[in-house]
Amino acid sequence: MLRLALIPFALVVAALVVLAVVPSRENAMPSGMVELQDVTVTLYPRTDPDAVWYFATPRADYQPSTQEATLHSVEDGRRTVEGETDFTLHSEQVTIDRSENLRGAEMRAHLVEDDLDLLMEARGGRQVLIDQRNGRFEVPRAIVSGPDLGESVFEDMRISFDFTDFESGGPGTVGYAQFMVDVDGEN
């Protein structure tokens, strides 16, 4: 009787040993790019917990190996803080990296509260960067315009999302502003 009980016991132990020795399969990430059509992307930055970004795009590509998402033809991008739109964003192509920063060759932002338009352009191999951790734009070339401002051009600009911290220029850079003066209501 004991001998009959030992045989199933030995088989179970042998099966457990085989399972322990055989390497386990790991979850494999897709090796290729994942492409989505007509999507709405919502981004909740860990480094900016009060903000939520929304993007509507006809195409989004996700590259698992770099953990980057590229959004194409963004016409309805916006950053909200506590439910209120802080600024809108439009771009032909925006990449969201693994640190949740946004970068691209050209981006157009409209700062809602200040009624300012900000055209941000890449230059000399440097892309436009929207740095979530520091809450600022890092822009090789920027054109800022608004109804009360006129137009100002800056190179190598770093400016906070709320426009309270501004730094621009350096050796060999250009910065100029054009203002319109209203004389007797004649503009």
Report pLDDT digits (tens) over 74-83.
989 999 999 9
Is 90 exceeded by the pLDDT of residue 22? no
Is 80 exceeded by the pLDDT of residue 21? no
What integer is the mean pLDDT of 7-34?
71
> Please, which residues have CB within 8 angstroms of residue 151's CB and are 6 or more apart in sequence?
143, 144, 145, 177, 178
Kindly report, residue by residue over 136-168, the tens digit of the pLDDT: 999 999 998 988 778 888 889 898 887 788 888
Angle at 95 between CA 83 and CA 89, to 5 degrees: 40
Query: Hunting for tokens 């590229």 — which residue is that?
Result: 70
**pLDDT computed for residue 30 by the predictor:** 58
- Of 87, 81, 126, 127, the residue nearest 109 (C-alpha): 87
The residue among 178 and 184 whose pLDDT is bigger is: 184
Is 60 exceeded by the pLDDT of residue 181? no
Superfamily per CATH, domain 34-178: Lipopolysaccharide (LPS) transport protein A like domain (2.60.450.10)
Is 90 exceeded by the pLDDT of residue 31? no
Domain boundaries, the chain: 34-178
Mean pLDDT value across the chain:
84
Choose the weakest-confidence range: 51-60, 128-137, 166-175.
Answer: 166-175
What integer is the mean pLDDT of 90-97?
96
Is 80 exceeded by the pLDDT of residue 13? no
**pLDDT computed for residue 10 by the predictor:** 72
Is 80 exceeded by the pLDDT of residue 68? yes
The residue among 4 and 164 whose pLDDT is bigger is: 164
Percent of the chain at pLDDT > 90 equals: 49
Is 60 exceeded by the pLDDT of residue 56? yes
